[in-house]
Amino acid sequence: MVSAGETSEVPALVRFLDEATEALAAAREEIDALNVYPVPDGDTGTNLYLTLSAARDAVRALPGADPDAPVREAPALGEVWATMARGALLGARGNSGVILSQMLGAVSATVARVLAEPAPEQDGVATARPGSVLARAMAAAVEASYAAVGEPVEGTILTVARAASEAATEAATTGGVRRVVADAAAAAREALSHTPEQLAVLAEAGVVDAGGRGLVVVLDAAEHVLTGRRPVSVPAPLAAHRIPVVGHPVPAASTAPRSPGTPPSEPSRSAYEVVYLLRAPDDAVPALRARLGALGDSLVVVGGDGLWKVHVHVDDAGAAVEAGLAAGTPSEIAITALPPAPGVERSGRRVVAVAAGPGLEGLFAEAGAVVVPGGPGRRPSAGMLLEAMDAGDVAEVVVLPNDADTVATAELAASTLRERGDVQVAVIPTRSQVQGLAALAVHEPARTLAADVLEMTATARHVRQGAVTVAARRGMTMAGPCEPGDVLGVIAGDFAVVGSDLATVARDVAERLLAGGGDLVTLVAGQEDAGTTAALAAYVEEHHPAVDVVVYDGGQDRYPVLLSVE
């Protein structure tokens, strides 16, 4: 996966990203259950999964990188590594996710340097040493990760990464890339089993480190891709979601090395997690680290070349953001309340709705929902949804994903919040914006949560929904083949009409939806509406005078018209 840049290496890297992401998805709940340090918020597995899936999605978006894409030429290996690293940085979630993104960034930078170097020659033939390259990359990743963490603590993902790197370096002296990866993965598993010896809070909880466990999952996936062997990994947690610590007593005093001023390795008790992207000159970062280090803990600042990801736990979230403003330009600021101390009273109900355009954002907000921007090409991560669900001290949350591809993401976020035990969460599987609008219209906070969810779900299910869009590429639909520029009519999530004129296809979709009867037609105009929605409203009013028509300006991308019939 790290040889001299041949495109034949790209499929292996994509397979690794796919397998590692799927493995983290499968192990997410196990890893979340291990999460007791630095804050027992049960989200390390989720954060790692979201971070790596962001990297995977970024790579698959490259022309030719997706094995299913009909593109003949694959991208260069260096481009794939760079895209993976940037995707991980932009999608990083939580402490461990940010560290993982830094590791991938360092590996990418090392590979880029190697690809730019002349290959060594043997008997006049240029040769590559992928095992040595990988070992160098892993060493760089460990160095960068330790440098990025404000106060490195042993017994964490850092320790596991260092053990893997040391084994990789030793294996590279005599073996190839398969040997390097296999030895690194084995060393990581061994190091993980010893983390409770280094961190008292792990031993007290009877678990190994959650971030380290996630890294083991990733390395095991790499070993399987390269060797075909499935390693015997750390056993799954028992009924209490704990991995028993056997034969590794904790010393009376921690033997973990500490830098001067490092506080005892106890769970974080800060009130907020603050995460943001920061555009700032590299020389401004040391001062930023110092300022944030004085404000809180769990500090990680990663990135380079003017783009940084900042993560810190603080009591004063505003001061953490101000520190970013002093250093550069922060964006994508996320402030999340960390789990409250036992006994904090929660009350009230919140509706979280994903909106696919500025007009729709306004409609959902006016109806009282907390809005998360979404839509094709910018669907929210589970972390973004979780932040919206968990802000404040509400006791009940109802989530409207409003998009078929966001339903599973919402469930992932909801399950993480449910596991904490102090908030009730219900995800109504709305698969379109118009379904979400209909469900929110009947929301009644005075009802019990069960009754409210039942009414909103029933209303959403009775909505017949459709849309009109334009084909971006050649393909085969349920209605036959389509070419770029063809107008597609969508009914209940399937392409049911292929035509050449927006207005004609929109009328066809409306007639099909109205064939089953209905009292109300809701139309939502998109960015590329071009008068189609107004013309469709006039058509329905003329040909179906008994049906009421409501028109909204949604501003959504890619869909000139969204429509529903109730």
- What pLDDT is stored for residue 124 in this prediction? 38
* Chain segment 209-231, per-residue pLDDT in tens: 988 999 999 999 999 988 888 77
Place of tokens 């979630």: 93
Which H or E run contains 158? helix 157-172
* Chain segment 454-472, per-residue pLDDT in tens: 899 889 888 999 999 998 7
CA distances from 332 to 308, 345, 412 (A): 12, 30, 21
Does residue 36 register a pLDDT over 80? no
- What pLDDT is stored for residue 121 in this prediction? 47
Residue 435 sits at the vertex; the CA angle it makes with 431 and 438, to the nearest 5 degrees, is 160
For the segment 142-164, the average pLDDT, to the nearest whole number, is 86
Does residue 564 register a pLDDT over 80? yes
Backbone angles phi, psi at 16, to 5 degrees: -60, -45
Among 71-80, 106-115, 139-148, 517-526, name the one with the lowest average pLDDT. Answer: 71-80
Question: What's the rounded Cα separation, in Å, for the pair 468 and 527?
Answer: 12
Percent of the chain surpassing pLDDT 90:
32
- Is 306 within 8 Å of 280 (Cβ atoms)? yes
Would you tell me how many other CB atoms lie within 10 Å of the CB of residue 125?
A: 8
Helix, strand, coil % in the chain, rounded to nearest 5 = 45, 20, 35
| DSSP characters over 206-271 | T---HHHHHHHHHHHHHHHHHHS-----SPPP-TTS-----S-PPPSS------TTPPPS-----S
In sequence order, the β-bridge partners of residue 471 are none
Among 2-16, 18-32, 66-80, 131-145, name the one with the lowest average pLDDT. Answer: 2-16
Does residue 73 register a pLDDT over 80? no
| DSSP characters over 324-379 | HHHHSEEEEEEEEEPPPPTT-----EEEEEEESSHHHHHHHHHTTPEEEE--TT-P
For the segment 198-207, the average pLDDT, to the nearest whole number, is 81
* Chain segment 488-511, per-residue pLDDT in tens: 999 988 889 999 999 999 999 999
> What 3-state DSSP class applies to 299?
strand
Question: What's the rounded Cα separation, in Å, for the pair 464 and 435?
Answer: 8
Among 259-263, 281-285, 334-338, 395-399, name the one with the lowest average pLDDT. Answer: 259-263
- Is 138 within 8 Å of 164 (Cβ atoms)? yes
List the structure tokens of 75: 């991208």
For the segment 306-333, the average pLDDT, to the nearest whole number, is 85
Q: 269 or 242: which carries more pLDDT confidence? A: 269
> What 3-state DSSP class applies to 560?
coil
Top mean pLDDT of 26-35, 39-48, 119-128 is at: 26-35
* Chain segment 376-432, per-residue pLDDT in tens: 767 777 678 888 888 777 889 999 999 887 887 787 778 777 777 778 888 898 989
pTM over 0.75, yes/no: no
Backbone angles phi, psi at 469, to 5 degrees: -140, 180
Place of tokens 């990760």: 145
Which residue, among 15, 19, 43, has the nearest Cα to 29 in the 3D structure? 43
CA distances from 489 to 141, 175, 551, 557 (A): 48, 57, 19, 15
Would you tell me how many other CB atoms lie within 10 Å of the CB of residue 207?
A: 25
- What pLDDT is stored for residue 232 in this prediction? 59
Does residue 551 register a pLDDT over 80? yes
For the segment 79-103, the average pLDDT, to the nearest whole number, is 82
Q: What does the mean pLDDT of the chain come to?
A: 81
Place of tokens 């035990």: 421
List the structure tokens of 270: 């800060």
- What pLDDT is stored for residue 204 in this prediction? 75
Q: 206 or 150: which carries more pLDDT confidence? A: 206
* Chain segment 506-547, per-residue pLDDT in tens: 999 999 999 988 899 999 999 889 899 999 999 999 999 999
List the structure tokens of 236: 């799954």
- What pLDDT is stored for residue 542 in this prediction? 93
In sequence order, the β-bridge partners of residue 331 are 277
Q: Which long-range contacts (CB under 8 A, 24 or more apart) does 245-250 make?
A: 245/196, 245/202, 245/203, 245/206, 245/207, 245/208, 248/193, 248/194, 248/196, 248/197, 248/203, 249/197, 249/203, 250/196, 250/197, 250/200, 250/203
For the segment 175-182, the average pLDDT, to the nearest whole number, is 90
CA distances from 262 to 252, 296, 494 (A): 18, 12, 57
Radius of gyration of the chain (CA): 26
- What pLDDT is stored for residue 2 in this prediction? 56
For the segment 93-101, the average pLDDT, to the nearest whole number, is 78
- What pLDDT is stored for residue 505 in this prediction? 94
Question: What's the rounded Cα separation, in Å, for the pair 54 and 463?
Answer: 33
Place of tokens 């990135």: 303
Q: What burial letters (b/e) apply to 54-84, b meaning 16+ CB within 10 Å? A: bbbebbbebeebeeeeeeeebbbbbbbbbbb
Percent of the chain surpassing pLDDT 70:
84
Among 1-10, 59-68, 217-226, 281-290, name the one with the lowest average pLDDT. Answer: 1-10
Among 126-135, 293-302, 479-488, name the one with the lowest average pLDDT. Answer: 126-135
Question: What's the rounded Cα separation, in Å, for the pair 513 and 465?
Answer: 7
- What pLDDT is stored for residue 435 in this prediction? 92
Question: What's the rounded Cα separation, in Å, for the pair 2 and 459?
Answer: 53
Domains of the chain, start order: 9-252 (1.25.40.340), 270-340 (3.30.70.1710), 353-461 (3.40.50), 464-565 (3.30.1180.10)
List the structure tokens of 40: 């027992």
The Cβ-side half-sphere exposure at 373, using a 13 Å CA radius, reads: 9
> What 3-state DSSP class applies to 523?
strand
- Is 436 within 8 Å of 406 (Cβ atoms)? no
Q: 253 or 186: which carries more pLDDT confidence? A: 186
Confidence band (pLDDT; 50, 70, 90) for 269? low
Q: 464 or 72: which carries more pLDDT confidence? A: 464
Does residue 557 register a pLDDT over 90? no
- Is 302 within 8 Å of 309 (Cβ atoms)? yes
- What pLDDT is stored for residue 47 in this prediction? 81
DSSP 8-state assignment for residue 450: H
- What pLDDT is stored for residue 539 in this prediction? 94
Helix 44-60 and helix 9-34: axis angle, to 10°? 160
Among 65-69, 77-81, 112-116, 551-555, name the one with the lowest average pLDDT. Answer: 65-69
